[in-house]
Structure 1
Amino acid sequence: MRLPGHGRYAHSAIPQRPDYDWPNGARLALVVCNNIEAFAYRAGLGSDSTGTPAVQNQRNYAWRDYGNRVGLWNLLDMLDELEIPCAHNVNGAVLDACPEIAPALKARGDEFVGHGRTNAERQDGMWEEDERRLIVESRDAIIRHAGAAPEGWLGPYIAQSAVTLDLLKEEGFSYVMDWPADDQPFWMATRAGPILSVPYSVELNDSPAQLARQHTGREFAQMIVDQFDEMLEQSRKRPLVCSVVLHPFIVGQPFRLRALRDALRHILSHRERLWVARPGEVARYAASLPKGVVPGSEMLP
């Protein structure tokens, strides 16, 4: 029997790989990724506070809009307090609609990651020409507001079509976070050359955890602590990336933010053993390693 395959990367078991360290001899990289999103009013796709699919109406639109009006600013204050660098997966439309956001992210020195035009749509059902337009428009919006093109990409709803990787590479992206297959970076094949996959958790992610699975803020915080503590032990054997994924309309709610702060304080009590990095920094470091170290690097020129 032959199952359909993707042809993007070969199998690689993590114990069989070469060892390496992160900068300053760290064995565990902590990456905090926040999602800043725009939605259509009473149309298109969108999360609901109940966790179940719901008709798009004023209630769930306003609940999501709380993230851009209030929740994001709560979250940024906390990140400033804890001195945590962050990457933000940003819809192009949100930068146009909320002019305060880009300057605030630039002032922190944070990373802008391409995240589509809006989370009212997803790209996996588009024709190739339309998907390319979505990627280009998303990239160009970030250039307008951030002053530089994004290096990385995360699709709305972490969705890709069969040609997304090819289009991203052709439009200048160097890494993606849509393939949650590993706790280390790995190279993937495209028709325009290799592109790097950087770990991005669909488990340690407030949206599926607290909306789909209905975990409380405290349960999500305990998930973060458990994931971190276990990965810190595992990193004695091999370098790993621990990613924490956030959405300000979820964790920006004060009762959830308090639990998140406690979890991050626990992590930072081990800061001397960590590399606290943004995903672009992880990607550039992995790309600098000798050929043969990062899985798939044999395809590099």
Structure 2
Amino acid sequence: MREGEKDPGLYDFRPYRERPKLNWPDGKQVAVWVSPNIEFYELDPPANPHRKSWTKPHPDVVGYSHRDYGNRVGHWRMAEVMTKHGFLGSVSLSVAMCQHLPQVVEDANTRGWEFFSHGIYNTRYSYGMDEAQERALIEDSIRTVRDATGQTIKGWLAPALTHTPRTLDLIAEYGLSYTCDLYHDDQPGEVHVKQGRLISMPYSLEVNDHYGFFVYNMSPREYADTLIRQYQRLADEGGTVMCIPLHAYLIGQPHRIGPFEEVLKHIAADGRAWITRSGDIADHYMREVTA
């Protein structure tokens, strides 16, 4: 390590080929969870000095309405094919949805989906928050989701993937058991925090539909093929986790939903997948693996 460089020490280095495989229920090879991002974007949000909410000047009617399609139309299309093939959602929730569009949250809750926090709005960021503000964000998330759904959140995905140096320590202090903000592994693992126990839940940028369609410019069929190849390899290796992060304004478009449904049919028919929710994976890991 060069002078002046310091490893942040968030987690230990564990070479992939030298670690024991994780055992999933019923002898399944790969734990598969689907993470719909149910988000609320403000038309004209307050400015954050560290990052712009929209690339265009506010109000960005185009960006706002494109994303609002997910709540008005795309969610229902996506949720119906998930339910049809036996997939429960683990919702990365902008908790303001509980007040703005409670019908969407109620629908997900009725389907047996899990909720974890993705901040209040996806147009307000953690950058620049002091500790009191960040604590208020976490407390608001816990309280709002509990009041709206009866669930106590177990997980965290920072709003728009924005953090402070204290984020992981704080969510562990408040009793959350997993974070989706680390993208370093295909298995859960321990995160070093000041108190409590926190694990990293494998999320994905590589097979996130936002990256697939906006960054890698995939067609719907190319994206579906990518998901199947991801699944096949992780199932072959065993003891792994596959997350499919989705945004209903993208995957719920009429021209994309058909190829995505074929992915769900493929995974469900393969027989090697524990099709589950992120909180269930975290609970199983914490029971089976000593910190």
TM superposition shift of 1:157: 2.0
TM superposition shift of 1:248: 0.5
Alpha carbons of structure 1 residues 20 and 64: separation in structure 2 relative to 1, 3 Å:
closer
Q: Which amino acid is the alignment partner of residue 11 of structure 2?
A: Y
Alpha carbons of structure 1 residues 290 and 178: separation in structure 2 relative to 1, 3 Å:
closer
Secondary structure of 1:138 counterpart: helix
Contact 2:175 2:196 in 1 (8 A): no
Match of 2:164 in 1: 161
Secondary structure of 1:113 counterpart: strand
TM superposition shift of 1:41: 0.9
Match of 1:269 in 2: 269
Structure 2 CA distance for aligned equivalents of residues 276 and 100 of structure 1: 25
RMSD: 1.5
Q: Which amino acid is the alignment partner of residue 235 of structure 2?
A: L
Match of 1:50 in 2: none
Alpha carbons of structure 1 residues 262 and 46: separation in structure 2 relative to 1, 3 Å:
farther
Match of 1:19 in 2: 21
Structure 2 CA distance for aligned equivalents of residues 273 and 279 of structure 1: 17
TM-score with structure 1 setting the length: 0.90
TM superposition shift of 1:31: 0.9
Structure 1: 5+ residue runs without aligned partners? 48-52, 292-296
Q: Which amino acid is the alignment partner of residue 281 of structure 2?
A: V
Secondary structure of 2:190 counterpart: strand
Q: Are 1:138 and 2:152 matched, yes or no?
A: no
Percent sequence identity over aligned pairs: 30
Q: Which amino acid is the alignment partner of residue 261 of structure 2?
A: R
Alpha carbons of structure 1 residues 210 and 54: separation in structure 2 relative to 1, 3 Å:
farther
Structure 1 CA distance for aligned equivalents of residues 240 and 267 of structure 2: 15
Moved more, 111-120 or 15-24: 15-24
Q: Deviations over 1:125-160 (max 9, x none)?
A: 322221111121122110111112101111122232
Structure 1 CA distance for aligned equivalents of residues 227 and 178 of structure 2: 24
Equivalence map 1:173-188=2 (5 Å): 173-188=176-191
TM superposition shift of 1:46: 5.0
Structure 2: 5+ residue runs without aligned partners? none
Secondary structure of 2:102 counterpart: coil
Q: Which amino acid is the alignment partner of residue 38 of structure 1?
A: F
Match of 1:249 in 2: 249
Structure 2 CA distance for aligned equivalents of residues 31 and 73 of structure 1: 18
Secondary structure of 2:35 counterpart: strand
Equivalence map 1:5-84=2 (5 Å): 5-43=7-45, 53-56=55-58, 57-84=60-87
Alpha carbons of structure 1 residues 268 and 55: separation in structure 2 relative to 1, 3 Å:
farther
TM superposition shift of 1:290: 4.1
Q: Which amino acid is the alignment partner of residue 161 of structure 2?
A: I
Structure 1 CA distance for aligned equivalents of residues 243 and 213 of structure 2: 17
TM superposition shift of 1:80: 1.4
TM superposition shift of 1:184: 0.5
Structure 2 CA distance for aligned equivalents of residues 183 and 125 of structure 1: 31
TM-score with structure 2 setting the length: 0.93
Contact 1:34 1:245 in 2 (8 A): yes
Q: Which amino acid is the alignment partner of residue 7 of structure 1?
A: G
Contact 1:201 1:244 in 2 (8 A): yes
**Pick from 83, 86, 90: which aligns with 2:89?**
86
Alpha carbons of structure 1 residues 290 and 210: separation in structure 2 relative to 1, 3 Å:
closer
Match of 1:294 in 2: none
TM superposition shift of 1:92: 1.1
Match of 1:201 in 2: 204
Match of 2:285 in 1: 286
Alpha carbons of structure 1 residues 182 and 96: separation in structure 2 relative to 1, 3 Å:
same
Alpha carbons of structure 1 residues 17 and 81: separation in structure 2 relative to 1, 3 Å:
same
Task: Count matched residues.
Answer: 283
